Amino acid sequence: MNNPTLMKNLRNVPNYPIPGIQFKDVTTLFKNAKCMKIMVNELYELYKDKGITKVVGIESRGFVLGAALAVKLGAGFVMCRKPGKLPAETLKETYMKEYGKDTIEIHKDAIDEKDIVLIHDDLLATGGSMKAAYNLVKRFNPQKIYINFIIELTSEGQKGRDVFDKDTEITTLIHI
Is residue 21 over pLDDT 80? yes
CATH of domain 49-175: 3.40.50.2020
Strands 54-58 and 76-80: parallel
**Taking residues 167-176, what's their average pLDDT?**
95
* Residue 45 DSSP SS3: helix
Catalytic residue among 61, 93, 105, 152: 61
Q: What gap in Å lies between CA 138 and CA 144, rounded to an integer? A: 9
Annotation says 98 is catalytic: yes
pLDDT of residue 159: 81
pLDDT of residue 156: 61
Taking CB atoms within 8 Å and a gap of at least 24, the contacts of 23-29 are 24/122, 24/123, 24/151, 24/153, 24/176, 26/61, 26/122, 26/123, 26/150, 26/151, 27/61, 29/150
E strand segments, 22-89: 22-25, 54-58, 76-80
Q: What gap in Å lies between CA 18 and CA 29, rounded to an integer? A: 22
Task: Give tens-digit pLDDT for 74-127.
Answer: 999 999 999 999 999 999 999 987 667 899 999 999 999 999 999 999 999 889
Catalytic residue among 98, 139, 156, 169: 98
Instruction: Tell me how far CA of residue 61 lies from CA of 67, 107, 115, 137, in angstroms.
Output: 10, 19, 23, 18
- Place 17 in a pLDDT band, splitting at 50, 70 and 90: confident
C-alpha 68, offset from chain centre: 13
Instruction: Tell me how far CA of residue 159 lies from CA of 38, 110, 152, 155, in angstroms.
Output: 26, 30, 9, 8
Annotation says 61 is catalytic: yes
List the domain boundaries for the chain.
Answer: 49-175
Q: State the chain's mean pLDDT as an integer.
A: 94
